[in-house]
Structure 1
């Protein structure tokens, strides 16, 4: 019995001693790490860079620097953080100076911008080089007309007063010559509007999906259209026979036709039969033809969808 007690006591002491040893070892390591990382170090770190706000008339070369070297004099914790999670430096290309066909971005001239991004002190940290030299190719420019792809379906009884308005009607682009030479116009993305009964306006993006190497000085346009309720009217209009050769007696029938038109409600009362002129041009008659196709040669500007009840006008020649 006594032997069992002694054996158990020794085992318990061994476990306790090991746990204590492990605790003090880990504690010592933590203290050592803390002491080491609290010291000041002078290290050179690689900071990744990206180029933003590239002018649309310039194409950056692919071999431009992707990192810059930053010498940091900081404690180990800060050095380790920058090494594991390096911040990305955004270089605003529009702020670079153009020299001898290259763009030069000097770090000292943009201290505030860099401090904002990297949160470093220039007294304790500095870049190995004074700046970044950015190679580029000059793009060519061209002004192209815009063709809107806006499909409008009006609600029953409604229509547009005039054509779709859009601004701007042309946009400047830049890019390689071999691409710009193939472009005659720019198109918008497709827009479909249905059951339209009110004035419409909005913006639509230009379709740039097939032009990855072309830069657009503007990538959207504004459009607007006035919409009103329309009604259909009809008037009885005389048919005028023209260009009959001298000495020829030509008789047409019918001598009048019903003319249908569309007009917005506010202008409906303004329309009269005398506003229209329907002509049967005898000169258009071909050999062995006994009819003339009438044409509307005069109508009020605010009317639309003009059509005649009579598609053909018969005629006879009296001797």
Structure 2
């Protein structure tokens, strides 16, 4: 019984191999879209403003020959640049011999475009900031309590002088986060920029996410500003409680001296209601909710 099964399996495998061999012995047409790469670039120079990024080539040949070209490889169309700095163009037909992966036994039926225009120019470099491209969605009751920090925060870009001149920043690939409820530390890639090289392809981002709560800070002194030399302004009361909303750990470490409350003498001069509302300055990543009291009585008097 076992020998019979082995015989059947052998026959099936042999039949499949024979079918593949016969099939690939026929002639086929195959079209390839190939990225263009430039070789032979003079030292300290780069290629820019090339008219095409890809070449479309239609091939004709036996299946085996086409399979050797396409299977397990990612061929590129190589263009060997020649000439001095400036504008140039080359016919695709003249660049075919530079691509040795094209077998002589494979027929090239057609290609597009017929020519490529490009510029050779000096290389330049400069340092630019890295900008994270991030979207946030938080779990209910949680929120962002820090800047999005990027390490490194800037990077040196190199490339054709005309291209480098226009670059003001490098952006990361877009990253979306959902249901956030904790600190995030992650490596993300920089967005691809044509004709430019960078020292690093990955950067580290990190930002803090905490549960959002309210906290009351008591006895915050209200400062009176811009008092004339001969005048004085007395507040009742001169201290207030300030209610802030923010991350639970952030508010837990926050000191009341980091909160500023103030009124100006000019407010009192222009007042028609009999009370002043203090202006409150709060730390980053906190939200002002209320003060107790939110109205202050006052007296203006001579010194």
TM-score by length of 2: 0.51
Instruction: Give the equivalent residue in structure 1 for 2:196.
Output: 215
Alignment match of 1:190 (pick from 145, 151, 174): 174
Residue by residue over 1:176-200, the C-alpha shift from the partner in whole angstroms, topping out at 9 and shown as x without a partner, is: 3333222211222333323310221
Alignment match of 2:214 (pick from 227, 232, 254): 232
Alignment match of 1:278 (pick from 261, 268, 275): 261
1:199 corresponds to 2:183: yes
Gaps of 5+ in 1: 1-49, 63-79, 102-116, 119-134
Q: What is the CA distance between 1:257 and its match in structure 2?
A: 3.1
C-alpha RMSD of the superposition: 5.0
Residue by residue over 1:173-226, the C-alpha shift from the partner in whole angstroms, topping out at 9 and shown as x without a partner, is: 233333322221122233332331022122333334xx53x3232444321223
* 2:122–2:161 CA contact under 8 A, matched in 1: no
| Distance in 1, Cα, partners of 2:214 & 2:158 | 49
* 1:263–1:304 CA contact under 8 A, matched in 2: yes
* 2:263–2:277 CA contact under 8 A, matched in 1: yes
Q: What is the CA distance between 1:84 and its match in structure 2?
A: 5.6
Computing the radius of gyration from Cα coordinates, the structure with the larger value is: 1
Q: 1:315 to 1:53 in 2, by over 3 A?
A: farther
Residue by residue over 1:58-85, the C-alpha shift from the partner in whole angstroms, topping out at 9 and shown as x without a partner, is: 32898xxxxxxxxxxxxxxxxx98x965
Q: Secondary structure at the match of 2:168?
A: coil
* 2:160–2:196 CA contact under 8 A, matched in 1: no
How many residue pairs get aligned? The number is 219
1:143-182 pair list within 5 angstroms: 143-182=127-166
Instruction: Give the equivalent residue in structure 2 for 1:31.
Output: none
1:252 corresponds to 2:235: yes
Gaps of 5+ in 2: 1-35, 51-60, 86-100, 103-118
| Distance in 2, Cα, partners of 1:177 & 1:253 | 65
Which stretch of the first structure deviates more once superposed, 189-198 or 239-248? 239-248
| Distance in 1, Cα, partners of 2:245 & 2:40 | 52
* 1:59–1:139 CA contact under 8 A, matched in 2: no
* 1:158–1:230 CA contact under 8 A, matched in 2: yes
Q: 1:315 to 1:143 in 2, by over 3 A?
A: same
| Distance in 1, Cα, partners of 2:207 & 2:39 | 35
* 2:121–2:160 CA contact under 8 A, matched in 1: no
* 1:201–1:223 CA contact under 8 A, matched in 2: yes
* 1:262–1:304 CA contact under 8 A, matched in 2: yes
| Distance in 2, Cα, partners of 1:267 & 1:51 | 52
Please state which structure has a larger fraction of its residues in helix: 1
